[in-house]
Amino acid sequence: METLDRIKKQIAENPILLYMKGSPKLPSCGFSSQASQVLMQCGERFAYVDILQNPDIRAELPAYANWPTFPQLWIDGELIGGCDIIIEMFQQGELQPMIKETAAKYADDASDSASE
């Protein structure tokens, strides 16, 4: 499967998806750590892709997303943004309802990690 097709499939199949460096339990950069901590505080399951284990995705996702940095949060097929935006939305109380609504909408399909 082409890298771009894998990215599109991951985004389509995972309603709450974080592209990050490392994993939520073992992040490999401060920004990924902060973003995953905020998502965990929202209390819903989310999928993640470790871009350090997927260099092809790391190389191609910024062009596809038109967003140059990681982490990247995708909710319901839409790019939300990176670490600063995630934290700002959380602090303003905008992220929590978005996460809760999306999790409820897809409650039957929830998974912990994105399929390849």
Establish whether 6 is an annotated binding residue.
no
Establish whether 29 is an annotated binding residue.
yes
| Ordered DSSP codes for 68-104 | -SS-EEEETTEEEE-HHHHHHHHHTT-HHHHHHHHHH
Question: Strand order of the sheet with strand 47-50?
Answer: 47-50, 16-20, 72-75, 78-81
**CA distance linking residue 62 with residue 106, whole number of Å:** 26
Establish whether 46 is an annotated binding residue.
no
Establish whether 76 is an annotated binding residue.
no
Tokens, residue 103: 């999790």
Q: Which residue has the tokens 């399909």?
A: 109
**CA distance linking residue 23 with residue 20, whole number of Å:** 7
Residues making up the binding site for glutathione: 21, 58, 70, 83-84
Residues making up the binding site for [2Fe-2S] cluster: 29
Residues making up the binding site: 21, 29, 58, 70, 83-84
